[in-house]
Amino acid sequence: MKKLMGWVGVMMLVLGVSASATFAQDSGPMTSVGAGEGQVDIVAWPGYIERGETDAAYDWVTGFEAETGCKVNVKTAATSDEMVALMNEGVFDLVTASGDASLRLAYGGRLQPINIDLIPSWSTVDERLQNAAWHTVDIDGNGTPEHYGVPYQWGPNVLMYNTEVFKEAPASWNVVFEEQTLGDGVSNKGRVQAYDGPIHIADAANYLMHHNPELGIKDPYSLDIDQFNAALDLLRQQRELVARYWHDAFVQIDDFTNEGIVASGSWPFQVNLLKAAGEPIDSVFPEEGATGWADTTMMHVNAPHPNCAYMWLEHSINPKLQGDLAAWFGSVPSVPAACEGNDLLGENGCEANGFGSFEKIYFWRTPIADCGDDRGQVCVPYYEWVTNYIAVIGGR
């Protein structure tokens, strides 16, 4: 156990997690689900948990509350770092964590393993996600990886653009990385955005992987120091073009509507809302491919309402919820059966949202020193991504 805890301590340091974080409970996952406690508190991305307040057609909360007696309380978070900070407070039950937060939470002792035997619909989850590395890890060192969540939704980070400026869909991410004259005869300088999060370094690495092959980048999350510095140089170049680093989806929507922004990496959520409002907006999956997110509903190690939390975990992979959410957010369900027979999603909704692009997406993942190949422990860990990205945004 001493050896294990030493290794976990190293992982905490590499992942930027406080060494004082509580290690996961030794008692293991729950073995039965009892009566609900009356509520469940969830940290979620905007748009992920709807109760019909924005659009009455999109409501997967009201029925759950009536059936279980568990009131759903939601705290939205705009970034993965914010999610980690909120879960560190220890007052929430669940979080819809992306891959750049999930390992930090798991190795930081913020999560409890999930007993998939208590999730009756587990077998319906996409087999590509059931044992995904961002939520299935061997933290207790017994040789068997534990599940630390239930897959929720996934999708690409798309290139959103103004169709009045781009008469044809931009083919490359170069419109947000390199200064150029756009279709309306005006420079892109001051008219593009970039994501306000260290994980955006992976977008730069993905771009360089295709345009500077001599760097030898094979994985945008496993960067040695030379590859990492090249990505930072590209981001410094991008900084001269960026009008705002966005992290709030609704602020980005306003910027595209009222502030003259014409191109940015974004989520399908913003694209869908802007198009629904009649704005001249569309999105594309550029030729270089894209990073993306595979989000997992994960449970706090000291969840105040564990029974209601397990009830929500089961509810979260209901095909109707999965299909409705995919239609609302522009994402892909973690349950393939949700792709069929959903009036809101439509017959081709899953394909339109990227179901067939799974292998082309570099899903967000917490960078660690271990490159995962024959280079060994020479890759730049996440805490260095954080400090360096702050420096780039600050003009250094």
Average pLDDT for 285-312: 96
pLDDT tier at 27 (50, 70, 90 boundaries)?
low
CA pair distance 23, 26, nearest whole angstrom: 8
Q: Report which of residues 293 and 22 the model is more confident about.
A: 293
Helices (H), the chain: 2-15, 62-68, 80-89, 99-107, 127-130, 174-177, 201-211, 225-239, 249-258, 268-276, 306-315, 319-329, 349-353, 382-393
Alpha carbon separation from 70 to 115, 185, 205, 345 (Å, rounded):
20, 56, 43, 27
Q: What pLDDT, on the 0 to 100 scale, is given for residue 2?
A: 30
CA pair distance 220, 162, nearest whole angstrom: 27
CATH number of 2-153+294-356: 3.40.190.10
83 and 101 Cβ atoms separated by less than 8 Å? yes
Q: What pLDDT, on the 0 to 100 scale, is given for residue 7?
A: 33
CA pair distance 143, 187, nearest whole angstrom: 55
50 and 61 Cβ atoms separated by less than 8 Å? yes
Q: What pLDDT, on the 0 to 100 scale, is given for residue 393?
A: 95
Q: What pLDDT, on the 0 to 100 scale, is given for residue 19?
A: 36
Average pLDDT for 19-25: 39
Strands 361-363 and 290-299, how do they pair?
parallel
- pLDDT of residue 60 exceeding 90, the answer is yes
Which CATH code, of 3.30.70.100, 3.30.70.980, 3.40.190.10, 3.40.50.2300, is assigned to 158-266+368-393?
3.40.190.10
Q: Where in the chain is the domain with CATH 3.40.190.10?
A: 2-153+294-356, 158-266+368-393
Q: Is the pTM of this model over 0.75?
A: yes
